[in-house]
Structure 1
Amino acid sequence: MRLSNMNKEKRHQILTRLRDDNPHPETELEYSSPFELLVAVTLSAQATDVGVNKATRKLFPVANTPQAILDLGHDTLRDYIKTIGLFNSKAANVYKMCQILVDEHNSIVPENREALEALPGVGRKTANVVLNTAFGWPVIAVDTHIFRVSNRTKLAMGKDVVAVEQKLEKVVPKEFKVDVHHWLILHGRYTCVARKPKCGSCIIEDLCEFKEKTEE
């Protein structure tokens, strides 16, 4: 079955409103360097940004470079992030990641998708977030929020996150591409929430093609 997306004009209106409401969107993960962002995004899988920030506020003042984390040691790193879900596997991945960055990249986060995805714990979504947020690439990382908003509104429909990413890459005009990831994730996190979307307070309610709108 072919999924029906909204028309070009309505899509442009939606993106314009989101831009006007938040002209300079930023990630809610706290970071001060590409490396800190890479670690934070890696830790954020199946965890909240709030939870990750609580852990990194203690970790980064002590160790915020690949070598510093290696010097810290795997077990101590694990203790710093033990409040985050899947902390055992995440600690192992971050520690291995740091070793590769030191050995192969002179401790610098590579501005290269292939090199990023070769790092432990880094998949396509994480690579896209780093490329977009740290380096300003016009790439779109699709998480559960963006997947839900894109399908629910019919902005860009797809059966999985990769399909939605490909659709967004195709239909989002160039002027919006750098920031659309942030607009959609924030919209999904605070307005177009999973269980009961807050349609009554949504700035794009009249443009959204979701049929089961709420009055909230």
Structure 2
Amino acid sequence: MRSIYRLLLLISLLSSSVAYGQISEDPEERRDQGQSPLKSQTPEGQPLPFKDRLRFGLGIPSLQIGNPFSIGISPIVGYQVSEHFVVGISVGYIYTRQKLPYYIPATINQLSGRAFGMYEFIPGILPNLYLHGELDQRSYTQKIDGQANSFTGSGTATLVGLTYAQPIGRLFSANISALYNLSYSNYSNTSQSLYGNSPLVIRIQFF
């Protein structure tokens, strides 16, 4: 009788191990079946752990050669809430140097922080196309050559638009966004200093 109990216990343990292996199956294996990898759950519908939904990447918020010269970097951390919904945060730094004869000689340092959300709204028709909304907070310090004082400014912008994401892996893609700055003002020098001379923002990011 004890042998039978031991056999039943062994079968039970093996069955549990197989079931756990199925639940923990890598969603990337769906590629072998001609399907897209799952982003937030296993093929059996079980939610993936928090760490398996994190997305890390980088954006280049500014790159301009000439006068003015400008370059920036923006690390990104995203979280795959569901198969079609992503949220994230990002911080950024932009360095700008402008010279005569077209600009007042100055150095501008700009810091930013933003929170965003992306929702894939018609995956059956246009997969990887997302509605995109974000809140962007920025501040800058401008130092004009030959002047002792620095000029500072800050502002917050709400941006909405679309993002197309070209998948590179299960949780990594190249993203191009076309956003409209709802907070843009033709009459605000601070707004134009922070976000440019147009309410339209084009951005390329990898995450």
Instruction: Answer yes or no: same fold by TM over 0.5.
Output: no
Classify the TM-score, shorter chain.
Answer: under 0.3
TM-score, with structure 1 as normaliser: 0.22
Give 1 or 2: higher helix fraction.
Answer: 1
TM-score, with structure 2 as normaliser: 0.23
Task: Identify which of structures 1 and 2 has the higher relative contact order when contacts are C-alpha pairs closer than 8 Å and 6+ apart.
Answer: 1
Larger Rg: 2
